[in-house]
Structure 1
């Protein structure tokens, strides 16, 4: 009788742990830069203005603070201006650019490197980016420059829990040597089919952090990532939203069932003695 009880309890334990495995592994959040959960800074009406402020978006209890940053040649990064293009996404206006001159006013790498610095209020993996207009889908030729590609570099901050990067001390080259890690390089806007429209790029294996930098292709990436082949095209894209995942916690009922099974097998072993 006792020998029959042990296999039954063992099966119960196995079933409990299978339920644990079935528990969702992560919780998803999406932050749309122009969505209802975002507090866009003053002066960013769609298609008509730009601002040097950040955008704060809250979803799933996590706030994403997003700002535009750019450098010039080998100089250090500085915060610059976001430009709201409505359904085409948010672009960047930096350096001597103004809202009325030529150029797509996207995140690009013509003359400097532009990108979106993202701070999350909790550590998450970056699981998705959605881009609107990009040079791969809809090339733009303005001011004698052909914006005809959309390679994107994604960096994760690995500077330690509770620490914050001093991004104004970074250059395009130092991103590959300090506490920033290149985790993904998306060629041609994530190899989405050509043609105007919104592109959703799903990511995996990015690791977790509270700080991210999503930029036009950084040519310095070639020195630290084997197999990444850059080109001389001008990359440009506009950002609509980002998505993140955070590790989930098993449901209380599942934990209770597993605990009950372990308690039962412990009692059975005592009785078997």
Structure 2
């Protein structure tokens, strides 16, 4: 009995498989959005007026709007975004006085504050950088900087119907403790620190929130920048050379199959 030559078709099969896979794959573009360029001391946006979210900041992408949300227990409360220039973006909720002396940060005092980032396309975060924070700069009881990151995984065409993190449409991506220079993050006592985000989740809506955990400390930080990747759809249309290579691969496999059948 003659041996089979079916193994000879494997190179053709592998090449065709790889080519097909590459034709359907998506590309990812990296970017960083810098919020330190926003006007110092300026009120950026109000809670509830999400159509007027301000696209402040600069970087390799400007397709992001910023909003503020806060919760007291399970109840959503009004909040606004404030920019502190090189210090980063903070939040002032309805239980806080924007005219009083204070960090006016994303914090867990008088409610759990969060910044909402709404991107024009689906993105995956890879890191974030904070400026002023309670870990490095303890001030009037603001003495911690535990941070939580959430991504919206809902399916509603118009985006989230709630920005309460307890809703199942918000997926916890990670908790990051004591983010700041003193925990070996990058930066210094003024610039704060950074944390890497490890996730395969892509979304147009992200929450960067004070954690407000039960360690008897008040979390507080200001957001300087976020980095990530934007998912771009595959072209879906193969080039003529790719089509020709696939055709040759198919002919090669057919020829080997016929020869194998004849030799049995």
Please classify the TM superposition score into its range, dividing by the shorter chain length: 0.7 to 0.9
Aligned length: 241
Q: For 1:209, which of 185, 203, 206 is the aligned residue?
A: 203
Cα RMSD (Å) of the superposition?
Answer: 3.6
Q: Report what 2:178 is aligned to.
A: 188
What's the secondary structure of 2:75's corresponding residue? coil
Corresponding position of 2:261: none
Structure 1 Cα separation of the partners of residues 173 and 236 of structure 2: 34
Q: Which residue of 1 aligns with 2:65?
A: 65
Deviation at 1:192, TM superposition (A): 4.0
> Corresponding residue for 1:119?
118
1:263 aligns with 2:247: yes
1:186 Cα deviation from its structure 2 partner: 0.6
Among candidates 208, 221, 230, match of residue 237 of structure 1:
221
Cα 1:136–1:182 shift into 2, 3 Å: same
Structure 1 residues 271 and 28, CA gap change in structure 2 (3 angstroms): same
Hey, what does 1:149 align to over in structure 2?
144
Whether contact under 8 Å (2:45, 2:54) holds in the other structure is no
Give the structure 2 partner of residue 28 of structure 1. 30
Does the CA-based 8 Å contact 2:123-2:203 persist in structure 1? yes
**Residue 132 of structure 1, CA deviation:** 0.7
Larger radius of gyration: 2
User: Superposed, which structure 2 residues align to 1:1-273 within 5 Å?
Assistant: 6=8, 10=12, 13=15, 20=22, 26-35=28-37, 45-46=39-40, 48-53=41-46, 54-56=53-55, 63-78=63-78, 80-141=79-140, 146-160=141-155, 162-167=157-162, 170=164, 175-189=165-179, 191-193=183-185, 195-196=188-189, 197-205=191-199, 207-219=201-213, 230-248=214-232, 259-272=243-256, 273=258
The question of whether the paired residues in 2 share the 8 Å contact of 1:13 and 1:258 is answered with: no
CA distance in 1, matches of 2:159, 2:235: 32
Q: Report deviation, 1:195.
A: 4.9
Residues 60, 20 of structure 1: CA spacing in aligned structure 2 closer, same or farther, 3 A cutoff?
farther
Q: What 5-or-longer segments of structure 2 have no aligned partner?
A: 47-52, 259-264
Moved more, 259-268 or 150-159: 259-268
Task: Name the TM-score, length of structure 1 as normaliser.
Answer: 0.72
1:55–1:206 Cα change, 3 Å:
farther
Deviation, 1:147, is: 1.1
Aligned equivalents of 2:154, 2:13: Cα separation in 1: 44
The CA deviation string for residues 180-217 of structure 1, in whole angstroms up to 9 with x for no partner, is: 12121111117544951242322111511111111100
